[in-house]
Amino acid sequence: MAGNRTLTMIKPDAVKAGNIGNILQMMNSAGFKIVAMKYTKLSKEKAGEFYAVHKERPFYGELVDFMSSGPIVAAILEKDNAVEDFRTLIGATNPADAAEGTIRAKYATSIGENAVHGSDSDENAQIESSFHFAGTEVFA
Ligand code: GDP
């Protein structure tokens, strides 16, 4: 059964560009409810840990540098079929391939600096939510 939560991050490029409000608005309009949220900054070490699954990829160093380059907004979002529906809302990893009207089509500037993160499975949604939030920081 599909889970009802996913983990998102508004990445440093979108924060820097002043798009936090616009992106949160798109999430709300698409029916996602925010059940946890924080404005924070990842250290290089924490960014490396979050993206450890990509450690062997050629872009790993660049990704870790980017994700620790400035503040982010991390949030847990709730909706039926959250993971899949949120991936649809954000669009393809590369904004050049992202469908019109998606968050990445609107706000991403490159395959690396692509404005938002969205969990890719229910299992990862849970792992990533625990990475950013304690149980006491989640308000259903
Ligand atoms: P996602 O699930 O759509 O975020 O994509 P992936 O799990 O494949 O990659 C994780 C993140 O790594 C992406 O969102 C990008 O920020 C970054 N990334 C992926 N591919 C590339 C690449 O070719 N170059 C760079 N610099 N970053 C990349």
Which of 116, 120, 133 is CA-nearest to residue 20?
A: 116
The SS3 assignment for 35 reads strand
Compute, in angstroms, the gap from residue 106 CA to the centroid of ligand 1.
Answer: 17
| pLDDT tens by residue, 73-100 | 999 999 999 999 999 999 999 999 999 9
- CA quadruple 41, 45, 50, 56: dihedral positive or negative? positive
Which of 129, 126, 104 is CA-nearest to residue 114?
A: 104
Contacts 24+ apart (CB under 8 A), 90-93: 90/8, 90/115, 90/116, 90/118
Q: What are phi and psi of 101, to 5 degrees?
A: 90, -10
Residue whose structure tokens are 């849970």: 126
Average pLDDT of the chain is 97
Tokens of 70: 């400035």
Query: Atom 5 (ligand 1): residue with closest C-alpha?
Result: 93
Tokens of 37: 């949220």
Residue 138 has a pLDDT of: 98
The correct CATH number of 5-137 out of 3.40.50.300, 3.40.980.10, 3.30.420.40, 3.30.70.141 is 3.30.70.141
Residue whose structure tokens are 């890719």: 120
Residues catalogued as catalytic? 117
Domain boundaries, the chain: 5-137
Compute, in angstroms, the gap from residue 136 CA to the centroid of ligand 1.
Answer: 30
Regions of the chain with pLDDT less than 70: 1
DSSP H/E element including 25: helix 20-29
Residue whose structure tokens are 């395959």: 111
